[in-house]
Amino acid sequence: MLCLLALLVFATLALFSARYRPLAREAVACVFRRITLRKCTTALDQRVKAMVTGRLMLSHPAAARFVHRHLEAMAWGFVLVGIAATGYLGYGFYNFHRYGNCNGPTGKGFCIFDPTGTYGRYSGIVTGQRGEKLAPGEHGGPALGPENARVTIIEFGSYSCPYTRATEPTTRELVRRYGNEIRFVFRHFPLDAVPAPRKEAGTTCEESSFEGVSAEHAGATQAAIAACCAAAQGRFWEYHALVSVRPDAIASCAGLTGLAIQVGLDEASFTRCLEDPAMRSRVQRDFEDGVKAGIFGTPTFFINGSVLVAPSAETLFAAVDEALGAPRP
Amino acid sequence: MSFDPQSVRPDFPPLRDGRLLYFDNACMALRPQAVIDAVTAYYTEYPACGERSLHRLGQRVDGEVSLAREAARRLLGAKRVEEIVFTQNTTHAINLVALSFPFAAGDVVVTSDQEHNSNLLPWQQLSRAGVQHQAVPFGNLEALRAALTERVKLVSMVMTSNLDGASIDAKRTVQVAHEAGIPVLLDAAQAAPHQEIDVRSLEVDFLACSGHKMMGPSGTGILYGKRQWLERLRPTLVGGGTVTDSTLQAATYADVPERFEAGLQNYAGIIGLRAAIEYLERIGRAEIQAHEHRLTRQLHEGLARYDDIRIFGPPPEGRTGITSFAFEGIDVHDVCMLLDRSAGIAVRSGRHCVHSWFNAHHVEGTVRASLYLYNTEQEVAAFLQALAKVHDVLA
């Protein structure tokens, strides 16, 4: 097994320097002999062992003794871990290809493949949800498209989440492209509510965030309530589009009110609405539905019940095409 | 007053930072700055051909090579410089004799049973020409005497074994062979760097040694041969420099030693070898030998504390600075590599090119610590300390 590990290392190094090619050849010969159930005659495994043990001897003689005696077994462990890691890596690539992120549709874990440097920012969300996941319904969320459309797409998003905001043009294009074939619903999953709230939030706009909020997502609940208030005046989608490009505004109630004025909402009604417990309850219900659905990142899309987490536009459209059962040319 | 190794250590660049503990001198000795300077001077000041070019650079090369040959003559106590042939190393020198000696089918060559491959394989190869090889126990003069039949045409013996530092009685060996009218070749690779050698006193017919084991450059060696014997050898590696004239049909060979030095020579190495010999002469090989004996005794006293050790060869008094040992149940390569990795100590492990002896005695290999003039008592103590730690890990 030491030879196999050495082969992986030296074969990689040999790509860059001829110095390592004899070692790589030795490793190949050693691996071949071991595969054919013969003893390695190159002593490469011995050299690797000596290299490790010799360094350890300087600081931890007892550990050196242990390693020298059990390095072969440890190497087996490393190889098995390596095989498992490779399997998980392949699974991650599959998920990335299939769902647009390497964690899979409903799985938990962390994404190690992050080519654009954006997915990692939405990883590791822990809602505390245990038990069976429940597919969410519309529950009165703002919607576009007929109720009897063949495909219903429910998005859970947070205005504090850059990727939710970045997806907004995609969802607009989704609605434009598929028209009455789909029904698109937006529900709130404000990330300042993660982890699950430990106390009742305040009743004023300024107190509306839950306890334990990371600075990154501060204001997410306020913004969600503000969007609900815009919906109450029939301007949700305009407000939704605007807040998606003005993340600076969600940091304060004044900012949110400024956006409301910009989309033509009645300022007085909007300001009152921001402190309306019913609006807070609405956001709270959305959030709790999201938790029950096992959401671990935003935006999460439910397409006739199938889940996509932070998909690319192409993945999202492909999933809708699939749900419609008629792939488009 | 005995020789103080501290006085020479600054001359050796690899030792200057004090991190290297070099106990692999039986394989390759370190070079003093004087040798490095001599080699560098050739390449920087007169990097030309010898024995061919009449310009100033060529003449200087000729002069330096002559001085080197004279130094080699002094080193071995030869009578004439014509008896000194420059070779690449001991192996080359022995092969030169093996391929050039006027053997006939049915002849026999006798060696000991503890020969380096370089003094074994050349004779085994001669079996293709019908020449047989016979081995007698190392250092056993009676066995040698008994083996010397009329068919024996050459005795070729290692003078000091690179396996365990044991030496034969070279003078008596030559006498025994000469009593039977048989010439003798001595492999002095491990002897010449460590002890005074006088080929006239030994009356030996051929003697081979290497430059790199006596602080000279790599790729240098010396073959000493009595003039009458060199003249009887048939040049086998021929070409430029080995003839005085040639036609399309034949050639007139040069006198000895040039007829054995084919092609452009390793001038930088030969010139550096002279510097090494002169360095040895300044210190004195008798002083070096006494110093190595002191260190070897200290080393053996330290090794004697192990119950599971086997030390190969004679007691310290009967050997040079070479000590071979092995621990029961511990791989010798592991010991070697851990000494290196944990304490920066360079020793050799394995069969030391004496596979035939290890196979015959069913021994896997040994750790070989070989000392030289620049090694110190402090280094031996540090070696023993590091060895104890390695033993603790591996035992």
Contact status, residue B152 vs residue B108, Cβ threshold 8 Å: yes
| Shortest CA gap A44–chain B (Å) | 11
Mean pLDDT of A47-74: 87
In this prediction, residue A137 has a pLDDT band, given cuts at 50, 70 and 90, of: confident
- Kindly report whether the peptide bond that precedes residue B13 is cis, defined as omega within 30 degrees of 0: no
Q: Give dist(CA A157, CA A301) in Å, integer.
A: 9
Q: Closest approach of chain B CAs to the CA of A54, in angstroms?
A: 5
* Mutant choice from B333, B338, B347 vs A, greatest count of A C-beta within 10 A: B338
Q: For residue range A16-25, what is the model confidence (pLDDT) as tens digits?
A: 999 889 889 9
CB-based contacts of B177, cutoff 8 Å, min separation 6? B144, B148, B155, B183, B184
Residue boundaries of the structural domains of chain A: 2-88, 135-324
Span of A233-247, B94-108, B143-157, B363-377 with lowest mean pLDDT = A233-247
Q: How many CB atoms lie within 10 A of CB B307?
A: 7
In this structure, which CATH number among 3.40.640.10, 2.130.10.10, 3.40.50.150, 3.90.1150.10 belongs to the domain B46-282?
3.40.640.10
B337–chain A Cβ distance below 8 A for any pair: yes
A–B CB contacts, 8 A cutoff, strictly below: 41
Residues in chain B: 395
Query: What is the distance between the alpha carbons of residues B192 and B170, in angstroms, rounded to a whole number?
Result: 12
- pLDDT higher than 50, residue A98: yes
- pLDDT tens for each residue of A257-310: 999 999 999 999 999 999 899 998 999 999 888 888 877 778 888 998 888 877
What's the per-residue H, E or C state across A24-79? HHHHHHHHHHHHCCCCCCCCHHHHHHHHHHHHHHHHCHHHHHHHHHHHHHHHHHHH
Query: Between 3.40.30.10, 3.40.50.1360, 3.40.50.12780, 2.40.40.20, what CATH number should domain A135-324 receive?
Result: 3.40.30.10
Contact B338 A58 (CB under 8 A): no
Whole-prediction pTM: 0.69
**pLDDT tens digit string along A212-232?**
445 667 788 899 999 999 999
- How would CATH label the architecture of B5-24+284-394? Alpha-Beta Complex (3.90)
Q: With beta carbons less than 8 A apart as the criterion, state whether B109 and B156 touch.
A: yes
- Cα–Cα distance, B274 to B86 (Å, whole number): 11
Name the 3-class secondary structure at B206: strand
How large is the angle between the packed helices B332-343 and B377-394, nearest 10 degrees? Answer: 120
Whether chain B has a CB inside 8 Å of the CB on A42: the answer is no
CA-wise closest residue to A223 among A167, A283, A170: A283
Contact A181, A150 (CB under 8 A): yes
Question: Of all helices (H) and strands (E), which one includes residue A112?
Answer: none
For residue A123, give both structure tokens: 């990883």
Q: CB contact, 8 Å: B394 with chain A?
A: yes
CA distance A26 to B256: 46
Host H or E run for residue B123 = helix B121-125
Q: Of the candidates A46, A58, A65, which has its C-beta nearest B337's C-beta?
A: A46
Determine the Cα–Cα distance for residues A142 and A276; give it in Å rounded to an integer. Answer: 18
Residue-level pLDDT at A2: 76
pLDDT tens sequence across B32-91: 999 999 999 999 999 999 988 889 999 999 999 999 999 999 999 999 999 999 999 999
Cβ pair A54:B342 closer than 8 A:
yes
* pLDDT tens digits for range A114-134: 455 444 444 345 455 555 667
Name chain B contacts of A57, Cβ cutoff 8 Å.
338, 341-342, 389-390, 393
Across A43-57, A85-99, A102-116, A311-325, least confident range = A102-116
Residue B387 near chain A (CB below 8 Å): no
Say yes or no: A49 contacts chain B, CB-CB below 8 A: yes
Question: Using 50, 70 and 90 to split pLDDT, how confident is the model at B119?
Answer: very high
Q: Residue A242 in contact with residue A227, Cβ under 8 Å?
A: no
Judged by CB atoms closer than 8 Å, whether chains meet at B390 and A57 is answered as: yes
pLDDT value of position A32: 86
Output the pLDDT for position B85: 98
**Facing residues of A90 across strands?**
none
* Positions of CATH 3.40.640.10 in chain B: 46-282
